[in-house]
């Protein structure tokens, strides 16, 4: 497809379970970001991938959160031992790459509900 | 450090009235600023960026370095402008977003 694709669109899980959220970037976009969108909190940066460089993990809220990007394309955000406060919409965004003033293109998000 | 501040969480205006969504930023270098919009049940998308100095859907935003502001304005609000608006600052490869303003245009 032409846009950033995220799956699942909705995920309901029980506290303590692990979840994986997937992001398929726009073809050719080397930069990939994960954000968390919560009511009243805006967009909270989680992690950033650029090509083959080491990711910027400075926004990950705890060691329960991790992310991978395989082959510079698809990315997976994993949340282990989920807590109720992890409930939010997780957004993936991509852009063409370093040095360009290009915009971020967002996916539709994965809404996570932890019961 | 809070880099982007949007002081209004909620803003309501009547159709046809002027609207201004406030955004202030904190950055010592040359900023690159954006407004993103999220309409109901749609993905977040770029509305405009300051370097383009463009008007999109009747909206404009001027960068005021003295006041470190990038307020979004439209002279005559329309119902279809009802949405969530986010101001964003790009520094290097990092994008910082404000907490957003939910705009409701009352018919």
More confident residue, A55 or A97: A55
| Cβ atoms B79, B86 nearer than 8 A | no
Q: Any idea of the CA torsion for B65, A94, B81, B60, to the nearest 10 degrees?
A: 30
A/B interface, count of CB pairs below 8 Å? 49
CA-wise closest residue to B32 among B11, B43, B46, B44: B46
Share the mean pLDDT of chain A.
91
Over range A60-77, report the average pLDDT: 92
CA-wise closest residue to A98 among B94, B72, B106, B37: B94
Distance from B101 to chain A by nearest Cα, in Å?
9
pLDDT at A70: 84
Task: Tell me what percent of chain A is helix, strand and coil, each rounded to the nearest 5.
Answer: 5, 50, 45
- pLDDT at residue A101 above 70? no
- pLDDT at residue A1 above 60? no
Separation between Cα atoms, residue A66 and residue A95, nearest integer Å: 21
Asked if the Cβ–Cβ distance from B97 to A42 is below 8 Å, we say yes
Beta bridge partners of B9: none
pLDDT at B52: 79
pLDDT one digit per residue (tens) for chain B, 107 residues: 558 999 999 999 999 999 999 999 998 888 889 999 999 999 999 999 887 778 889 999 988 989 999 999 999 999 999 999 999 998 888 899 999 999 999 99
Instruction: Count other C-beta atoms under 10 Å from residue A114's C-beta.
Output: 19
pLDDT at B76: 97
Give exposure, B29-52, as e/b (b: 16+ Cβ within 10 Å).
eebbbbbbbbeeeebbebbbbeee
Q: pLDDT-derived band of residue A21, with 50, 70 and 90 as boundaries?
A: very high
Separation between Cα atoms, residue B36 and residue B83, nearest integer Å: 10
Partner residue opposite A91 with nearest CB, options B44, B94, B98: B44
Q: pLDDT-derived band of residue A74, with 50, 70 and 90 as boundaries?
A: very high
Asked if the Cβ–Cβ distance from A43 to B43 is below 8 Å, we say no
Distance from A75 to chain B by nearest Cα, in Å?
18
Residue of A nearest to B4 (CA): A42
pLDDT at A71: 80
Separation between Cα atoms, residue A82 and residue A55, nearest integer Å: 23
Residues of B in contact with A50 (CB under 8 A): 93
More confident residue, A84 or A98: A84
Tokens of A109: 């998000």
Beta bridge partners of A10: A111
pLDDT at A89: 96
The H or E element containing residue B96 is: strand B94-97
pLDDT at B1: 59
Distance from A96 to chain B by nearest Cα, in Å?
11
Question: What are the two backbone dihedrals, phi and then psi, of residue B23, each rounded to the nearest 5 degrees?
Answer: -145, 125
> Degrees (nearest 5) of the Cα angle B89, B95, A49?
165
What does DSSP say about strands B94-97 and B83-91: parallel, antiparallel, or unpaired?
Answer: antiparallel
């Amino acid at each position: 497809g032409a846009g950033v694709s995220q799956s699942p669109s909705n995920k309901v899980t029980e506290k303590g379970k692990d979840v994986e959220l997937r992001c398929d970037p726009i073809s050719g976009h080397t930069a990939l970001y994960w954000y968390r969108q919560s009511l009243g909190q805006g967009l909270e940066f989680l992690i950033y991938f650029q090509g083959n460089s080491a990711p910027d993990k400075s926004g990950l809220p705890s060691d329960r959160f991790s992310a991978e990007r395989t082959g510079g394309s698809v990315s997976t955000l994993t949340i282990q031992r989920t807590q109720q406060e992890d409930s939010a919409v997780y957004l993936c965004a991509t852009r063409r790459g370093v040095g360009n003033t290009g915009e971020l293109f967002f996916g539709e998000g994965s809404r996570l509900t932890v019961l | 450090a809070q880099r982007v501040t949007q002081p209004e969480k909620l803003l309501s205006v009547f159709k046809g009235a002027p609207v201004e969504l406030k955004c202030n930023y904190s950055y010592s270098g040359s900023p690159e600023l954006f407004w993103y919009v999220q309409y109901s049940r749609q993905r977040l998308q770029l509305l405009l960026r300051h370097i383009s100095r463009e008007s999109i859907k009747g909206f404009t935003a001027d960068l005021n370095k003295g006041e470190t502001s990038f307020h979004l304005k439209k002279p005559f609000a329309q119902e279809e402008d009802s949405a969530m608006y986010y101001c964003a600052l790009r520094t290097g490869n990092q994008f910082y977003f404000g907490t957003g303003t939910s705009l409701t245009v009352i018919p």
